[in-house]
Amino acid sequence: MLDTQESPLSRIITTALPAHGHVSPLLAIAADLAARGHEVVFLGGSRFAETVERAGVRFAALPAEIDWDDRDLDAAFPGRAELAPGPERIAFDVRHVFLDPVPHQYRALLALLAEFPADAVITDAFIQGMLPLALARPRAERPALIGIGITPSMLPSVDTAPFGLALPPLAGEEGRIRNRSLQEEVDRRAEPLQRYAEKVFAEAGVRLPEGPRGLAQVTVPDAYLQLTVPGFEYPRSDAPASYRMIGALPGNVGEEQPLPAWWDEVTGERPVVVVTQGTLANDDLDQLVAPTVRALADRDVLVVAATARPDGPEALTGLLGGRLPENVRATGYVPFDRLLPHTDVLVSNGGYGGVQTALRYGVPLVVAGASEDKPEVAARVQWAGVGLDLRTGRPEPETVGRAVDQVLAEGRFRERARTLGAEFAAYRPFDTIAELVESL
């Protein structure tokens, strides 16, 4: 038997966009593989270097040209701030956040492989600069490439509406006709972006396969692992064999968070409602956190406002006229894996990881999200029966209050969330990934 203390099982590169919500799942995978005896290097944004190293993983920085700070995307990408959330901003992000870095990402990977000849590369699916590795070389001449789906699946299908429309499946032939018509329209509108993508990949020396980019993200890697369960993802009868759902990962790695002084209150008799805007779209707490606090100020509930920013409690207090309601506890960061077992409802703007973490603990949701992939997450929450989709990113307090009351009062949401929690518990994503790495 191989002595893993003297010789690593495999050499593995993991990589993610330099954004907290992308780094967290890939770092969790890297840390688990390192603990199993593999030699792992994490290629990522420089601001995460200490977190990566605390997790017991070697760090390598992305090139400076693409090492932006996700805490201020508008500063990193001039012109973005002028675009309202919606189609125009999405098109901007596709061009400049996801596509422009492709040649730089690919060159960084090749440079790292030259001094660290890895057996496998495990990548956040949004690092599209890893795709040329498989497009340029036959399998025998390169590492195995494994894509990780950290957002709702964008895989096109005859059974689903195009990603971005936030439409749940429609059964039968009627649904397929609808989906086909919508896909044709989306493809027509996306033609300029498709040509742009082809140009960018040509600069990396490869030809992008025919079809939507969402298809290439799944079919080009040797394996594509979606971090969810079938109960929270639309069925696709035409999904390729490389596409697998493997469950959700546990919380953040390398980021120990102390418990707040009021922690004992979350185990009290009052229902606990947690509200958060996640780690990306949290610059304006008046979108969801403040309206939720206003809505629940007179309710017999404990409201935990998890702002996910160090100045969050102060900023929220300012929005509320300088004083928090008696039943509100505001915090910058809180260990969600310890808070959610005591939570009765999570009010969220639809971060994929946070929503699924709630479901792992059987917590029903109220979701209000308008940016990035959040409308798609919210649509899945309602489709799965685990909560309500408010279909806006900036709800009125009365709307939030009614939704929270409904979720608390109607046991069907909690029951369905617990059923989904049991489904998540049946999966062993770390074991699945490790077994796949070893088989490839």
Closest CA to 329 of 358, 361, 296, 356: 296
pLDDT confidence band for 4 (50 / 70 / 90): very low
**pLDDT of 144 higher than 60:** yes
Closest CA to 16 of 118, 126, 97, 107: 126
Q: What pLDDT is recorded for position 255? A: 52
pLDDT confidence band for 282 (50 / 70 / 90): confident
Contact (Cβ atoms closer than 8 angstroms) between residue 391 and residue 378: yes
How many percent of the chain have pLDDT more than 90?
75
Q: What pLDDT is recorded for position 108? A: 96
**pLDDT of 405 higher than 90:** yes
Which residues does 410 contact at the CB level (< 8 Å), separation at least 6? none
**Model confidence over 70-111: pLDDT tens digits?**
888 888 899 998 888 777 888 899 999 999 999 999 999 999
Q: What pLDDT is recorded for position 371? A: 79
Contact (Cβ atoms closer than 8 angstroms) between residue 31 and residue 3: no
**In the structure encoding, which two tokens stand for residue 284, read together?**
């304006």
**pLDDT of 20 higher than 60:** yes
Residues facing 329 on adjacent strands: 304
CA quadruple 199, 200, 203, 207: dihedral positive or negative? negative
CATH of 263-409 given 2.40.37.10, 3.40.50.300, 3.40.50.2000, 3.40.50.2300: 3.40.50.2000
**In the structure encoding, which two tokens stand for residue 365, read together?**
């949701």
Give the domain ranges of the chain.
11-248+427-439, 263-409
Which residues does 197 contact at the CB level (< 8 Å), separation at least 6? 99, 208, 213
**pLDDT of 158 higher than 50:** yes
Contact (Cβ atoms closer than 8 angstroms) between residue 234 and residue 153: yes
Work out the average pLDDT over 337-365: 94
pLDDT confidence band for 1 (50 / 70 / 90): very low
**In the structure encoding, which two tokens stand for residue 59, read together?**
């760090």
CA quadruple 418, 281, 59, 200: dihedral positive or negative? positive
**Radius of gyration of the chain, Cα coordinates, nearest whole angstrom:** 22
Q: Picking from 51-60, 78-87, 157-166, which range would have the lowest pLDDT averaged per residue?
A: 78-87
Instruction: Taking each helix axis as running N to C, give the angle between helix 102-115 and helix 191-203, from 0 to 180 degrees, rounded to the nearest 10.
Output: 30
| Measured distance CA(19)–CA(155) in Å, rounded | 22
Contact (Cβ atoms closer than 8 angstroms) between residue 257 and residue 269: no
pLDDT confidence band for 254 (50 / 70 / 90): very low
**pLDDT of 6 higher than 80:** no
Burial class (CB in 10 A: 0-12, 13-18, 19+), 229: buried
Q: Picking from 68-77, 158-167, 210-219, which range would have the lowest pLDDT averaged per residue?
A: 210-219
Q: Picking from 183-192, 216-225, 245-254, which range would have the lowest pLDDT averaged per residue?
A: 245-254
Helix (H, G, I), strand (E, B) or coil at 124: strand
Residues facing 40 on adjacent strands: 12
Top-tier CATH class for 11-248+427-439: alpha beta
The one-letter code for the residue type at 293 is V
| Measured distance CA(321)–CA(2) in Å, rounded | 63
| Measured distance CA(284)–CA(57) in Å, rounded | 34
Instruction: Examine domains 11-248+427-439 and 263-409 and report if their fold is the same.
Output: yes
